[in-house]
Amino acid sequence: MFKGPREAAAFCAAFEPPAGVDVVLCPPYVSLETVAATGARTYAQNVHWVREGAFTGEVSAPMLAEVGATGAIVGHSERRQYFGETDETVARRAHALLEARLGIIACVGESAEEREAGQTEFVLRIQVEAIGDAVGGWDDLVIAYEPVWAIGTGVTATPDQAQEAHAYVKSIVDAPVLYGGSVKPDNAAELAAQTDIDGFLVGGASLEVDSFTAICQAAAAFRS
C-alpha cells in the first residue's frame, strides 16, 4: 500500500527497465490507470472473482482491464495472513482472470511453523494444485514462491532452499516460478543464478527506483 497516482507517475518517469527482462509493475488500485498510461506492463495487487454485484469495496477483472491493467496478483501472503484468503478463494480469483484473458501471478508459500514441521512440500502441493485445477495450462500463469517466513522479515531463503522449492512447484504445474521473500540488490544475483528461479516478486525493495533497477539488472544478466 504505497504510491498513489502522483508518486507512481514519478516512479515510472524515473524507471527505465533494462533490456532482457520482463517487468511488471503492480501498484495499488488508485494508481493502475496512471501506471498503465506510461506504457508499463501493469498488474493489480488483487482481484475479485465476480464480474459485478453487491461486493462493496471489491474490483473485478473487467474493471481492471478497462483501466489498462493486463493482469493481477492473487493469493499474496499478506492477503492470506491478514484478510482470510484461502486456497479456494485464490483459485476463484485466478479463474476470474483466466475468464477475462488477463495474466496471473499466483502466490504460494509455507509458514515458518510449517517448514519447521517438515510440511513445506505438503503445503506447496495443496496450494499449487488448487491453482492448477483452476487455470492450469493458461499461458499467462506465473507462480510466485514466497516463503511466509521471509516476507518483510529481512530473512531470505538460501539459494538452495529456494531452488528446491521452485523445482518442486515446477514438478506440479508447468509455469514460470518467481521468488519473493526479502529480495534485495545484494542477494538477487545469487538467487537468479539458480536453475529453476525464473525471476522475482519484489516487495519493499521495489519502492526505490535504483534498488528495483539493480534487481532487474541482476535478473536480466541470467536471462540473456
Just list the catalytic residues: 76, 146
Angle between helix axes 120-135 and 159-172 (nearest 10 degrees) is 40
Asked if 106 and 90 count as a contact pair (C-beta separation under 8 A), the reply is yes
The x, y and z cell numbers of residue 60, run together, are 473485478
The x, y and z cell numbers of residue 207, run together, are 519502492
Start-to-end C-alpha separation, the chain? 32
Asked if 62 and 108 count as a contact pair (C-beta separation under 8 A), the reply is no
Q: Which residues contact 223 (CB under 8 A, 6 or more apart)?
A: 20, 21, 199
